[in-house]
Amino acid sequence: MKILLIRFSSIGDIVLTSPVIRCLKNKFPHAEIHFVTKPQFKMLVEHNPAIHTVHTLDGDIQQLVLKLLPEKFDLVVDLHKNFRSRYISALLRQAFNSQVQIIRFSKLNIRKWLLTTFKINTLPDKSIVDRYFDGLKKIGVTNDGKGLDFFIPEEQEVTKDDIPMSHMLGYIAFSIGGQHETKKMPVDKWIEICKQIDFPIMLLGGKEDAVNAALMCQHDPVKIYNACGKFSLLESAHLIKKARVVVTHDTGLMHIAAAFKKPIISIWGNTVPAFGMFPYYGSNNVHTHIAPQLTIIEKKISCRPCSKIGYKSCPKKHFNCMNQLSNDNLVQQIQRVIHENK
Residues 229-275 have pLDDT tens digits of 999 999 999 999 999 999 999 999 999 999 999 999 999 999 999 99
pLDDT at residue 160, rounded to an integer: 84
Mean pLDDT confidence for 316-335: 96
pLDDT at residue 284, rounded to an integer: 96
Task: For residues 279 and 265, give the distance between their C-alpha atoms in angstroms, rounded to a whole number.
Answer: 10
pTM over 0.95: yes
Instruction: Kindly list the structural domains of the chain, giving each domain's residue range(s) and its CATH number in brackets, ordered by start.
Output: 2-104 (3.40.50.2000), 159-340 (3.40.50.2000)
Burial profile 200-223: b = 16 or more Cβ within 10 angstroms, e = fewer: bbbbbbeeebbebbeebbeeeeeb
179's CB contacts (< 8 A; 6+ apart) are: 10, 251, 310
Task: For residues 249 and 256, give the distance between their C-alpha atoms in angstroms, rounded to a whole number.
Answer: 12
Task: For residues 169 and 298, give the distance between their C-alpha atoms in angstroms, rounded to a whole number.
Answer: 31
Mean pLDDT confidence for 66-76: 95
Identify the DSSP state of 261.
T
